[in-house]
Amino acid sequence: MELLDSEIFNQFKCKGADVTRAKIEKLTKPQLVDWVFNFAKMYQRTKNFNLDAVSRIEDLNSRVISGQEKIIHLQEDMLNSKDEQLSCFRSTVKEEMASVQSAVQTEIRSTWSQVAARGESGGQTITTAAKLKEAVKSAVAEEDKAKNFMIFGKEEAPSEDVTTIVAEVLQDLKEKPRLVECTRVGASRQGKQRPIKVKLSSVDAVFNVLRNAKLLKNSCNNKATYIGPDRSKEERAEHSKLVAKMKSMMKNEPDKYHYIRGGAIRSVDKSEDFDELSLYE
């Protein structure tokens, strides 16, 4: 097309932008016929090119639309497949739960039958459902209490931040457990330092805190602070008796380490290779 343009405009001895009416009037008839003929050929070629381009564009658009439709169908198939998988999974879970529930119920009935048989044959008292429920409730409460520990000896102020106080104590123990709850317990009275009850996220975290509580004796800010388990009133009374007895043993047997574990006082010779922190394991 560029070659044809060059031939046409060479007849005018000018470029396309310089074509004027005066220059066209100077052409002879044969030159004008050649010019019109060449222009017609150029127009036809341009027309054919444009039609071909339109056809190709329409074909490309058709392919794009077809591709998009395929993508949509594939996405629908994937969603349907996921729905089927989820439905199948739910069905399997329900079947497994029903199977487990049936097995548990069978085992419970068998256990109750055995208990009843022993009670009838041996004159033993049969455990009632209420007692069993109470036992489970007690076990859960005991497990929940095992996630607590107590901090004694921290001064109390009206506008104190208990969480900050607990965090500073734990920092001296080199422990960073997740705190669930921190609060002072007992009635507030002037001149009395109420203990702080701390609840952690796990029993293991409490175990580590109690195990490292001995480190507070070397602390600058918490030397007078004491950490202990969360005990009931009866447990505290029993523990006080053990502590009094242990102090007497420490006085009478200074060559030994004395500690309380499992509700009993235990002793180890100081001459042995012994880590004091292991007393709290």
Which CATH architecture group holds 147-230? 2-Layer Sandwich (3.30)
Residue 97 has what pLDDT? 65
Residue 117 has what pLDDT? 61
pLDDT of 125 higher than 60: no
Of 36-40, 83-87, 203-207, 247-251, the one with minimum mean pLDDT is 83-87
Which phi-psi region, left, alpha or beta, contains residue 139 (left: φ > 0; alpha: ψ -120 to 50)?
alpha
Question: Which run of H or E residues covers position 144?
Answer: helix 129-145
Q: What residues does 256 pair with on adjacent strands?
A: 269
Which pair of structure tokens corresponds to residue 132?
Answer: 């069993």
Q: Determine contact, residues 153/225, Cβ cutoff 8 Å.
A: yes
Crossing angle of helices 2-11/29-122, nearest 10°?
Answer: 160
**Environment class of residue 255 by beta-carbon count within 10 Å: exposed (0-12), middle (13-18) or buried (19+)?**
exposed
Residue 281 has what pLDDT? 44
Residue 278 has what pLDDT? 47
Domain boundaries, the chain: 1-96, 147-230, 232-281
Residue 99 has what pLDDT? 67
The Cα angle at residue 138 between residues 136 and 143, in degrees rounded to 5: 95
Of 6-10, 57-61, 86-90, 200-204, the one with minimum mean pLDDT is 6-10
The closest of 195, 224, 200 to 210, measured between CA atoms, is: 200
Q: Is 219 helix (H, G, I), strand (E, B) or coil?
A: coil
Residues comprising the chain, all counted: 281
Residue 84 has what pLDDT? 74
Residue 163 has what pLDDT? 93
pLDDT tens for 175-204 read: 889 999 999 988 888 878 899 999 999 889
The percentage of residues in the chain with a pLDDT greater than 90, rounded to a whole number, is 10
Residue 280 has what pLDDT? 46
pLDDT tens for 69-105 read: 888 888 887 887 777 777 776 776 677 667 666 766 6
Residue 89 has what pLDDT? 66
pLDDT, mean over the chain: 77
Of 8-22, 89-103, 131-145, 146-160, the one with minimum mean pLDDT is 8-22
Q: How many CB atoms lie within 10 A of CB 8?
A: 17
Residue 32 has what pLDDT? 74
Q: What is the mean pLDDT of residues 101-110?
A: 67
pLDDT tens for 157-172 read: 888 899 999 999 999 9
Report which of residues 130 and 18 the model is more confident about.
Answer: 130
